[in-house]
Amino acid sequence: MVYKKKQVPYTRRRMTQFDARVMENREVAQDYFEIFLEWPAPARAPLPGQLVTFNVEKGFHPFLRRPFAFASYDKSERLVSVIYHRRGPATQLISSLRSGDTLDVIGPRGFAFQPPRDADQPLLVGGGIGTGPVVFAANWLATKGLHPRLILGFRHQGLFPALTLRPEVELQVCTDDGSLGFKGNVRAFLSTIQASEKDNAFVWACGPYPMLKAVHEWSQAEGLPCQVSVEEIMACGVGACLGCAVETVDARQMVRVCTEGPVFDSKVLKWT
Amino acid sequence: MDINPAFSFTLKGQAWPGFVGVASGTFGYAKEYDGLSDFTKIGAVFTKAITPEPRLGNPPPRIVETPGGMLNSIGLANVGLEDFIRDKMDFLRRIPSAVVVNVAGALEEDYEKVVDRLEGVEGIWGYEINISCPNVRHGGMSLGTDPRLVEQITARLRGRTTKPLIVKLSPNVTDIGDTASAAQNGGADAVSCINTLVGMLIDLKTKRPVLPLNTGGLSGPAILPVALAAVWKVSRRVKIPVIGIGGITRWEDAVQHLLAGASAVQVGSGSFANPRLAEEVHEGVLEYARSNQLKSLADFHAMAD
């Protein structure tokens, strides 16, 4: 067969990769930072749960882009933010960025949290680095006329970040050492929730794996729908490398965190 | 589109629109980069390795970053031959880049099945044979480590297609010149040089290798010197063209590959950090050629040993 190609004019379509201008980058808790980026009009508006990747270093190390979840989107100011934990060379470099610097970004990517049709009481659970996306989700649901309950867990008071929350959001902070709010982790707090408060509830969670697993198991026991945003190491962040694939309850199928996720119905994932 | 034939990689009279390919496993089935990359400057898309049956691949984690690179242990995850033809070829036919299907399998017959079936499919420029995957008949050892097996598999596939046939060489051998020579003897039209290097990282907390299968394939800027030495050696050992691959993250790296003896290049995991890498390499190499009075890809090879 003769090799031939149809000559279809090919043009780059959407603005998904660009140099975003840093507007602010501030420490919001001990070793936790929130970076605000200008989000120009041709870029798509991010939804809670969606990802953005940063090419932090154009040289050799760190070599790969880093994925983060959006923590806010302000349409009128054309501003997005990401809350990140300074814990390695890449986040160290990000924390050194100043207003006016630029950052090579790709996003928004992946599937966002999906509001269920038959439930209207959001129970949003986050902890540590999972705080950003659930805070974004809480503020977003508030604009939809809902009254989200936002449950955030930290090891101690010093890790609780300064947050901007809409008045409709009811915040409950939990700390392992009791230095702020409820003493104990978010799973322990969930046990104290009254039956009436679980009416029509749905659960969205983001945080460390053991927390997500505990929230998933609690939601299953309570019969509440639960969506979780999970983390995995990524190379491309656009669905090409298959590096971030995770296992599902169906042994014949794996799903990519960057593309089919990062938000999944918690019943779909294989919990280990 | 303005393609200079002197800078178009050509095999069996079939030219790429350029000389920069994107490596197998690093660009999915191309559609993943729709809107992120300019396919008019990508000479060829080397697809994810295709096996007769769909493969899930290895358990997570599959990726770990290393100094100046990364290890991968994806495990030939792919949609399988039939889904590839049904779901992935449509987009691949629409982009200007040449489509090179990377062919893999657990048995020699698997390679034959893939090539036989794709011979009837429109829009495929040629094949790249992955000889680095574990072979069931040879105790999980890859064909690529034994020159006799490399020559055999190449000859078996040569008998089934008149399209360009490229053998992707593994660097995890004593003498890569021997496997390159075997590929040439088997009837390959070119060799891709090199695949990833076997590597490992260990987790201090668990005291175990980070990757579930212990080792993975090392790629990224860290392997550039290894790749250049291999391209140098192979291009002096065989008459067929060498496609340089390994460690390219800037156009300067690609120039080095061409100067070492490559007739085209592939960019690999560098695209992960920079989806526009292939086009930047294309532009950068052309600019270097202009300012150094190099009139064709062959002009890069005039250097004395």
| Angstroms from B18 CA to nearest CA on chain A | 14
Determine, for residues B35 and A16 on separate chains, whether the beta-carbon distance falls below 8 Å. Answer: yes
| Mean pLDDT estimate for chain A | 92
pLDDT at B245 over 80: yes
Q: Does A221 touch chain B (CB under 8 A)?
A: no
Domain holding A214, by residue range, is 121-229
Location of structure tokens 């990747």:
A53
Domain end (from A109, A143, A171): A109
User: What CATH number is attached to the domain comprising A182?
Assistant: 3.40.50.80
Search chain A and give the residue with CA nearest B100.
A3
A125 with A50, same domain: the answer is: no
Residues A150 and A95 in one domain: no
Residues in chain A with CB shorter than 8 Å from the CB of B250 are none
When CB atoms are compared, the residue of A60, A240, A243 closest to B33 is A240
In chain A, the largest separation of any two C-alpha atoms, in whole Å, equals 73
Task: Tell me the catalytic residues of B.
Answer: 133
Chain B environment of A243 (Cβ under 8 Å): 62-63, 72, 74
Contact B26 A236 (CB under 8 A): yes
pLDDT digits (tens, 9 = 90+) for A182-229: 999 999 999 999 988 888 999 999 999 999 999 999 999 999 999 999
CB contact under 8 A, B36 and A3: no
Domain limits for position B205: 5-302
Over residues B248-257, the mean pLDDT reads 98
Span B135-189, pLDDT tens digits: 778 777 789 999 999 999 999 999 999 999 999 999 999 999 999 999 999 999 9
Q: Do A87 and A144 share a domain, yes or no?
A: no
Q: Give yes or no for B11 touching A (CB within 8 A).
A: no
Q: Does B222 touch chain A (CB under 8 A)?
A: yes
- Is the Cα dihedral A263, A266, A269, A270 positive or negative? positive
Interface of B with A in 111-130 (CB under 8 A): 119-120, 122-125
Q: Are residues A97 and A65 in the same domain?
A: yes
We report the CATH number of the domain holding residue A98 as 2.40.30.10
Q: How many angstroms separate the CA atoms of A65 and A55, rounded?
A: 5
Q: Is residue B221 within 8 Å of residue B249, measured between CB atoms?
A: yes
Give the pLDDT of residue A12: 47
Q: What interface predicted TM-score (ipTM) does this complex get? A: 0.92
| CB within 8 Å of A228: residues ≥ 6 apart | A204, A205, A206, A212, A215, A216, A263, A264, A266, A269
State the DSSP code for B5. Answer: G
- Taking 80 as the threshold, does the pLDDT of residue A22 lie above it? yes
Return the number of CB contacts < 8 Å for A and B: 132
A223 assigned to some structural domain: yes
Q: What angle, 0 to 180 degrees and rounded to 10, lies between the N-to-C axes of helices B147-158 and B108-118?
A: 30
Q: Domain total for chain B?
A: 1
Residues of chain A in contact with residue B69, where contact means CB-CB under 8 angstroms, are 63
Question: Are A172 and A196 within one domain?
Answer: yes
The residue among A261, A239, A256, A233 whose CA lies nearest residue A106 is A239
Q: How far apart are CA A78 and CA B146, in angstroms?
A: 58
pLDDT at A13: 54
The CATH number of the domain holding residue B217 is: 3.20.20.70
Quick check: B272 and A252 CB within 8 A?
no
- A235, B269: Cβ pair inside 8 Å? yes
A104 with A184, same domain: the answer is no
Give chain A's domain count.
2
Comparing CB atoms, the residue among A6, A13, A55 nearest residue B274 is A55
* A145 lies in the same domain as A59: no
